[in-house]
Amino acid sequence: MKTMSGLAALITAVLVLVPASAAPTGALLQPDELDAARILPPPPADGSPAAKAELAELEQVVATRTPEALAQATEDDATENPTIYRAVIGDGFNLDALPATSKMLADVMREQRAAANRAKAFFHRSRPWVADPDIKTCGKRGDPHTSYPSGHATMGYSVGIVLAALIPEKAQAILTRANGFAENRLVCGMHFRRDIVAGEALGTAVGVALLHNAEFKAEFDAAGQELKAAHLAQ
């Protein structure tokens, strides 16, 4: 397996693993491997000074965003999948033509979505528009109590960590894209700062846990060979 990023290695060192119950059907990871209550700190309470400071920061970001930044954030809002990495991996990163890579990433997507949904249900943080109904978001306003952690940030980092391990020569470009994708949740007015930081941490934990999973390693190795054959990895 390729060398993981420094951030992924750090999460490995602090991630608490407990004896696991049976995984849900089709899952690679057990829910208690990624217990958000043991990985993430709580977000600020609604109306607290810290929450008000985060809202003020977000309102400033939204008020000063450029049309170009808003356009990119709007595109990212609608593209919550691994294709966000095509620009940094190469035009050949077409999952329709890469079945082994597609299968591997489908498993990453399933695991990160399950982890993010459990965390959102546990923390139940209100979205920015609950505190400021007039804030101009660029995405669909769904459940108002799913702010923490950011699902987009979780997705970006879980997929990014795996791809960075798979294509280490492009790791910095991949992780830069993951960071920008997460930051665009602020530009979009959809999340607070701590939401995206928590999503980055949770996504990294998901990616690292998968990279240490024996069943996933077979998929990882197959994807690596496929990407080399497609001249997308060395």
Could you give the percent of the chain with pLDDT greater than 90? Answer: 86
pLDDT for position 139: 77
> Is residue 24 assigned to a domain?
no
Q: What's this model's pTM, rounded to 2 decimal places?
A: 0.90
176 in a domain, yes or no?
yes
Q: Who has greater pLDDT, 140 or 76? A: 76
* Within a domain: 14: no
> Which pLDDT score, from 0 to 100, does residue 36 have?
93
Task: Look at residue 106 and tell me if it is in a domain.
Answer: yes
The verdict on residue 63 lying in a domain is yes
Q: Return all residues near 121 (Cβ < 8 A) that are at least 6 apart.
A: none
Domain range for 139: 46-229
CATH number at residue 225: 1.20.144.10
| Domains held by the chain: number | 1
> Does the residue 82 lie in any domain?
yes
Is 138 domain-assigned?
yes
Question: What is the tens place of the pLDDT at every residue in 10-23?
Answer: 454 445 444 444 45
Model pLDDT for residues 80-94, shown as the tens digit of each residue? 999 999 999 999 999
Contact 123, 148 (CB under 8 A): yes
Residue 32 lies in a domain: no
Average of per-residue pLDDT values in the chain: 91
Tens of pLDDT, residues 152-195: 999 999 999 999 999 999 999 999 999 999 999 999 999 999 99
Q: Residue 37: pLDDT above 90?
A: yes
